[in-house]
Structure formats: C-alpha cells, structure tokens
Amino acid sequence: MGRQLPRKVGRRGRGAHHELAVGCVALAAASLALALPAALRAADYEAAVPAPEAVLGYALGERVTDYAGMERYLAALAEASPRVVWGSYGADYEGRELRYAVVSSPGNLARLEAIQAATARLSDPRGLGEAEAAALIDETPAVVWLNYGTDGNETAGLESALLMAHHLAADAEPATRGLLDEAVVVLTPAMNPSSHERWASWSNSFAALPRGNPDPLAMEHHPPWGVLTNNNHYLVDLNRESFWATQAESAALRDLYYRWHPVVFVDHHGEYDDFTGPGYEEPLNPLISEGQRRWFDRFGRAIGERFGRLGWSYSPWETGSFYPGFWESFGFLNGAIGFTYETIGGGSRGLRFRREDGSVVTLELASRQHFEASLTVIATAVGARRELLGDYLEFWRSARAVAAAAPETVFVIDPAGDPARAALLLEVLTGNGIEVYRAPAPVEARGVHDYFGRRWTSRRFAAGTWWMPVDQPRARLLLTLMRRDFALPEITLAAAEEFRRNQEKAGFVNPKIAGTTYLFYDVTAWSMPLTYGVPAYWAEEIPGDLTAGRLERLESPAPSPPPPAPAEASYGYVFSGDGIAATEMLVDLLQRDVVLNVAYDGFTIGGRSFPRGSVLVRNERNPGLDLRSVLAAAGERHGVAVHAVDGTYAEAGPSMGSDRMVHVRRPRIAVLAGDPVSTRSFGDLWFTFEDLYRLEFSAVYREQLDEQGLARYDVLVLPDGSYDAASFPADWLAALRGWVSRGGTLVCFARASGWAADPEVGLAATRLRPAEWPPAAGETGDPPPRRAPEVPGAILRALPDPHHHLTFGYGEETAVLVWSDIAFEPDPAVAAPVALAPLEDLRLSGFAYEDSLARLAGTPYLVDERLGGGHLVLFLDDPAFRVYWRGLSRLLLNAVLLSPNF
C-alpha cells in the first residue's frame, strides 16, 4: 500500500460515518490516466515512478477516474517515490476513507511533525520573540495545500491532482527538486467522494468513449435529477459550510487543516468559459489583511502570465468573497492566501464539450489548466517563501490591532436557556480553535448589547456563561462568525444602486446579471447567535483581564450530567417542551409509537411550571409499556428531565385531562424529490430529518404521488425549487387539493410557497404582494412604483404568535433568513403564526434595499391556512437552510409533527 503515516483517531462528529482519522499525511484523489500535458512531455521523469496511465490503463480524457482508481494510483506512487506519503483523515457517509497525500523532499518528510509545530507556532505568536520568529521563517518550508473535488462532480480537479502528484513525485529536474526543498505540498484530491462517484458512474456508463460526444444536447451532458449535483451524499453543499462543518467531510478537512496551518490554500473547481482565479473585487470580508490582498493580485498575475505564454485565457474573479462559508474563506480567515479556481471543462461538460463559439473544451485540457495554475502558485510561493511566511506571521500578530479597533471587546453566550443548542454553537467555535472561557462566578460587563438591538449600560452575567475575548489570535474569525452585522464597503453599495438603475433601463440586457447575486454571490448575513437561536451578547468594556484567573478555558462543550430518572408515577409523566433536546426527545418517542399529548397552553402541576408545547405521557394510554423505564432512557439520551405526575389537577393552566392536551400521533411524512425541487434544499432537509433528528420520511417522486400514493402519507413537504404555475399537471393538483382537504398537511418552502400562492395553481387563499413597491398612490406627481429587488440573504426580525401551535418553543421574537423576491400579502382570514417585524425594527443583519424591506415589513414569514380538514403551511424561505440555521428547526418540526393533529 506504499508508505503511510500512522492512523490517528480524532474527535467523533455527528452521524454514522463521522470518525475522523486525523493522520499526518494522506492523499485523496480519484485518478484518470493523465497523459502528460504538452508543457511537460519533455520533462525528465524517473522511470521507477509510475505515471497514472501505467496504473490505470487509460490516458487522460478517456474516462472519469473513479475513487478506487485514485487510491490504487496513490498507493503505487507512495510505494515508488520517497517524496510521497499518504493516508486517510476520516470517512464519508458512504463509508469511503477520505484520502490525502503530502509531497515534499525526503528531508522534509522526515520532519513533518516539526514543520507542523513550526506553522502552529507562527499562527499563535504570543510570546514569540524576534529571533525565534526569524529562525522559524528561515527554516520552515511553505505549506501549500491543493484541495480538489469540494464540488465532486467538477471532475477536472481529481484528474489534475493525479497529474500534480505524479509530476512532483517523479520529475528529476533540479527546479522541481528545489521546489520540494522549500515547500510541503498537501493534496486532498477528492474532498467530496460521493458527488464525484455519482458523476463518474454516469459519465463512464453513458459517455461516448473514449473521448466523449461534444454535442451539448448529447445524453452524457444531461443526467437525471440528483446525479449532477456537486453536493455530498446528503446533497448538502460542502462549499458553503466550511467553518460550520455540519457534514462529515467538512469536519474531517477542517480538523486536518488545523494540523498543518498552510500559508496557501487553493480550492479547485470547474466549468467556467475561461479559467478564473485569484484577484477579487469588493465586497471582500473587511478583515482580510492588506498583505493577503497583495498576494491575491500577485498570484493572479503570475498565473495570468503563465497562461498567456501557453495561449490560454485567464480571468481574475469579478465578484467578491464576503460570505465566509467558502473554503477559500476558511483559508484566508486562517491567515493563508486562500482562493478558488474555476477551470473550463469536466463535470457536465463531460469528456468533450462544444461551446457556443464552436471551440471544444476537454477534460484533459481543463485538468492541465488546473495543473499549470497550481504549479505556478507553488513556484511563486517558493520564490518568495520568506516574504510569504513573514506576511503569514504578520496576519496573526495584527490580530491584536484588529481586536483593539473592534467595537466588541468580548462576546458572551448564555447557555442556560437551551444548553443543547448553545453546545452546538460552542462546538463550531472550539472546533475552529477559538478560545472560549467559562465564568465560574458572576461577571459584570459594561456597554452590553444583545443581537436584537437592546443595550445596557452595565449587565451582570451569571456563573456558567461563556466568554470569548476578541483579543486572541483568531480575532478575525471570531468577529466574522459572531459579529451581528458587517457593513458593506461604499463601493459595493454604490454598485448596488448602479445595478438597480441599469436593470430598470429599457433594453438593458446582461445575461450574466440575473439578480443581486452578481454583487454579493451569496448571502450577506450569517451571524451565529442569530442562526442558532442562542441568547448572546457583546460588550464594549470589561473590568480587567477576564482570562487572568477569572475564567476557565473550554476545549469543547462539557457533557451535562444525565438528569435523574423520574419517580414511579401512578398517572403519567411530563417534560418541558422548551429547547432543542426536548424536540429531539419528542421525535424519538413518536418514532417508538409512544402515545403522548402536547400542551396547547402552559400549566403548573406538582409545584412545577411547564411552558406551552410541553409533553404529557399517560400510563393509561400506553398499556404494556414500562413507561418509566422508556422515558428515563429517553431522558438520559437527550438530556431532558422527566417528572412524575400522580394527579390530573393542575394548579394553573389546563388539567391533564383537558382537550387542550392535544394527542399527537406519529405522522407519515413524504418529501417531494425530483424536478422542480432544488437538490440543495432537498439535501438540507434530508440531513435535518435523517441525521439531526432521526425522523423517518420517504423521498418520493411526483409520479408516485397519485391519489392512492398521497393517501399513504399525512404530511407532504415541498422544498424550495424552480416551481411555476405549469410545474405539475392539472389532475395531480386536483388530487393534491383533495388530499389536503381530507386532512393532509402540505408544507412548502420559499419558491414552493410562491407557487402555492399563485392564483393559477389554485391551492392557497394566500396571495403574494406585487413586485412593485410601494404601490402607486394614484396622485399626480407621485413617482412610479419600482420593482423591489430580491433580498440577498439578510437576517430579519420576526414576531411569533404566542397562541399558535407552530410557535411552541419560541419567545417574543426570533431571527429568520430571507433570500428571495417574494412577500406574502397579509390576510386577516389566514393565520400568520410568525410575522416579520415593522420596518423600523425589521433588519438585523445583512444587506437589503429599503423598498424591499418596506414590502416585507409586517407581512407573514409563516402562513398556516386551513383547507377543508387539512393544513397548508407556507414558509417564506427555507427553514433548514444549509443545516446551520438551527434556530428555525423547531418551527419546521412543529409544522411537520404537530399540524396533522391541530
């Protein structure tokens, strides 16, 4: 199997395949036989080191290399070359070991642990003297990380990884040997094996071998729904969740990254018209250092010059990198020069593809472009290694200045309200090396703000709160994840207005500008206390040094002691409905067919008060069950205290026998799959149901949901997607209306909700507001109404109705994401369990045009419409968005689990 480093087991993540083997070095690469690019055919390769085609049996571009082929090649390469070591760093959900390799000089490979220690020391320069810093910079190779296959269906990445591995391992030229003396190259050839293997199987089964059919209409370029997606097994987008690391593959790569602390991190993607790489425009994260900005331009110019000599086109990015979930952002917020490549072929373009201008691009050429660009980056990094390492050190040293300039001195999280949800947030912070402390005694802070706009001159926080001083090496990352709102630069705000004016001009056409994504590329708000729904604060001032004996460092969330088992009860048992753990326990008990009731109102019994949404489980309704043992075990699994009830009379609120204790039966749930459903929205929901809550459901195509098919289910969820009035045939819509009227619950997200509210569809009484806002008043001289643009991913304040079952578990206000151009028209005849706040209080974080906010102000975020005996539940946006919007998961589960019973 070649030379491998010892396998080391790291922290277990969530899910069936989350065991992380954080080894020292390992290569993940699916390999297609790579014919040498023209620029390298004269290279002097060592005959003893096999080229990919010698192991795989085919040449570059003849097929898509599968994962097993990549593993065979890496094993052969490590066996033959003293410059390569490889191993595994975790596993994906389908059981494949995640592979990575390190390529360097034999001398560097012999001291990898010392190199890792040196880069770690540079990334935490507290107490680092000038002499020691100079020695580290002088002696430490530049760690350059080449990451491939984040979007696994963009197949040029894996092929290029094999080409790069072979070249660095086999080239006998002095120049290459010199590079490896000065650099350690870490390769992760296929970060996302599931996506890669789906597409490799399709392409190798249906492409016209050996070189593919370039016709854009050929079958090989048009796979079925779910095959071409660039997302993982659960169809979750790994390139939007780097720091959050909700997925096994992301968590494994994050943990591996923090063993190496690279100074350059390159994420390889594909399928643009021209190769695109470093050289960004605003908006950029404002905390990127000036040194990093210079290096973006420097690397981009070097690649552009190399491509010019080869006769290839190169384009620097014409968009910014503001949203932090990309892996390039992960790199630059950890001090590296992080950037993304997009090459010209592979993926849906298959082995060959004819572009609109008649030119043909190939998988081989796309792989070569990735190779040449990354080889240029390695050479540029080595040529200025000391300067690059010096700038890397300065990034970490300048964290103190960043902290001093920030209005936030410390962030505070109060875990008491929902410890389980707070622990999820803490896992993200500590998993990314952010220093978090626990207060063993009360601590007072001054100039305290919460995330909903309230301010206190001073506030005393109880023992047990978590404190994150901004003055720490990862100040930039802490501020990025925890700051409530990032202001966009003036140049971007001006561009937003110019964009809007141009869109309103008659005849203005730019096919590349479909919406505000041109300006922002992704959502403009992500503040973790808001997305996780955790009470948090930031303070302008704290008395003295918090960490000087007043706080205890937390490495990870401390496990809570299991709650005591309930006493034997003659009547039954109750547990509070507040908190994410209670929601998990409710799902668990329903899956076990425990008969239970949910309280419509709060109540007090036995001297204990329980909020609305709490759960009652009665002995008489569960004959044959050892209910005390079942509930004690469930309470221990979920960390939920269960209390015995010996009588039915409540001191306050409804009695245990009241019809306001609503029986909740286990619903049979279907989720629509296939066109026009968004694979990403489907995937986020799939993971939320299956992995986070272990909630059983069936993913079903529309063709199976005829009248008889619908009758098998109580709930049907329509994720976001490209719905329109013609999405489904009239007979299916009639069957759907009949199913809802007979008691079914239809839950719609985002554009599915807009579709349901379309009068031509005829499902909902709810209507959408007109796109033009404000409506014309009709007075002479009034300006004409303007079309309100979409809200490009802002976080808004929403107000839950305290008397509706869908808002169990919520207080007076909550945060929601809006990334759309739709708004519901308020209707007094239709329940709005959650409404958006008035305009003056609406925006919490992110960018939105003022008239877009005015159009949304006071309108429903969530609609619950009765249709005969059933429910039509419409979410304005996607409550499972990217999995990390945990603050809305209870709202989603209330809709799915409770609506059929209310």
Let me know: does 87 contact 5? Beta carbons within 8 Å. Answer: yes
| Backbone φ and ψ of 130, nearest 5° | -65, -40
Q: Is the omega angle on the peptide bond into residue 324 within 30 degrees of 0, that is, cis?
A: no
This prediction's pTM = 0.93
pLDDT band at 24; cut points 50, 70, 90: very low
How many Å apart are CA 685 and CA 236, to the nearest integer?
A: 9
How many Å apart are CA 119 and CA 117, to the nearest integer?
A: 6
Q: For 379-390, what is the mean pLDDT?
A: 98
Report the run of H or E that residue 475 belongs to, with start and end.
Answer: helix 475-482
Dmax (CA) of the chain: 89
* Number of alpha carbons in the 13 Å side-chain half-sphere of residue 49: 20
Lowest-pLDDT range, 332-346, 485-499, 713-727? 485-499
Whether residue 32 has pLDDT greater than 50: no
pLDDT tens digit sequence for 652-697: 999 999 999 999 999 999 999 999 999 999 999 999 999 999 999 9
304 by DSSP, 3-state: which? helix
Strand partners, 443: 461
The per-residue pLDDT for 518 is: 66
Let me know: does 438 contact 468? Beta carbons within 8 Å. Answer: no
Strand partners, 870: 867
| Backbone φ and ψ of 759, nearest 5° | -55, -30
Angle value at C-alpha 701, between 697 and 703, nearest 5 degrees: 135
How many Å apart are CA 468 and CA 460, to the nearest integer?
A: 16
542's CB contacts (< 8 A; 6+ apart) are 409, 410, 443, 445, 446, 469
Strand ranges for 12-75 from DSSP E: none
Q: Give the mean pLDDT of the chain.
A: 92
pLDDT band at 260; cut points 50, 70, 90: very high
How many Å apart are CA 714 and CA 705, to the nearest integer?
A: 12
The per-residue pLDDT for 41 is: 44
716 by DSSP, 3-state: which? strand
Let me know: does 465 contact 414? Beta carbons within 8 Å. Answer: yes
Whether residue 1 has pLDDT greater than 70: no
Task: Look up residue 785 and give its two tokens.
Answer: 């109404």
The per-residue pLDDT for 561 is: 85
| Backbone φ and ψ of 582, nearest 5° | -65, -35
Pairwise pLDDT comparison (547 vs 247), residue with the higher score: 247
The per-residue pLDDT for 6 is: 39
**Three-state secondary structure along 736-759?**
HHHHHHCCCEEEEECHHHHHHCCC
pLDDT tens digit sequence for 311-324: 999 999 988 899 99
Strand partners, 596: 664
631 Rama sector, left if φ>0, alpha if ψ -120 to 50, beta otherwise: alpha
690 by DSSP, 3-state: which? helix
pLDDT band at 4; cut points 50, 70, 90: low
143 by DSSP, 3-state: which? strand
How many Å apart are CA 673 and CA 701, to the nearest integer?
A: 5
387 by DSSP, 3-state: which? helix
How many Å apart are CA 520 and CA 659, to the nearest integer?
A: 51
How many Å apart are CA 766 and CA 825, to the nearest integer?
A: 7
**Encoded amino acid at 672, one letter:** L
Radius of gyration of the chain (CA): 28
Whether residue 246 has pLDDT greater than 50: yes
Instruction: Please list, residue by residue across 498-532, b when 16 or more beta carbons sit within 10 angstroms of its beta carbon and e when fewer do.
Output: ebbeeeeeeeeeeeeeeebebbbbbbbbbbbbbbb
pLDDT band at 36; cut points 50, 70, 90: very low
pLDDT tens digit sequence for 347-362: 999 999 999 999 999 9
The per-residue pLDDT for 574 is: 98
pLDDT tens digit sequence for 161-212: 999 999 999 999 999 999 999 999 999 999 999 999 999 999 999 999 888 9
Burial class (CB in 10 A: 0-12, 13-18, 19+), 450: middle
The per-residue pLDDT for 21 is: 27
Percentage of the chain modeled with pLDDT above 90: 84
How many Å apart are CA 343 and CA 275, to the nearest integer?
A: 5
Task: Look up residue 366 and give its two tokens.
Answer: 């796309």
The per-residue pLDDT for 339 is: 95
How many Å apart are CA 35 and CA 902, to the nearest integer?
A: 65
Let me know: does 286 contact 486? Beta carbons within 8 Å. Answer: yes
pLDDT tens digit sequence for 497-550: 887 887 777 776 665 555 555 678 899 999 999 999 999 999 999 877 777 767
The per-residue pLDDT for 228 is: 87
Distance of CA 248 to the CA centre of its chain: 12
How many Å apart are CA 751 and CA 578, to the nearest integer?
A: 30
Question: How many residues belong to the chain?
Answer: 902
pLDDT tens digit sequence for 552-591: 888 877 777 889 999 999 999 999 999 999 999 999 999 9
The per-residue pLDDT for 756 is: 97
pLDDT tens digit sequence for 599-649: 999 999 999 999 999 999 999 999 989 999 999 999 999 999 999 999 999
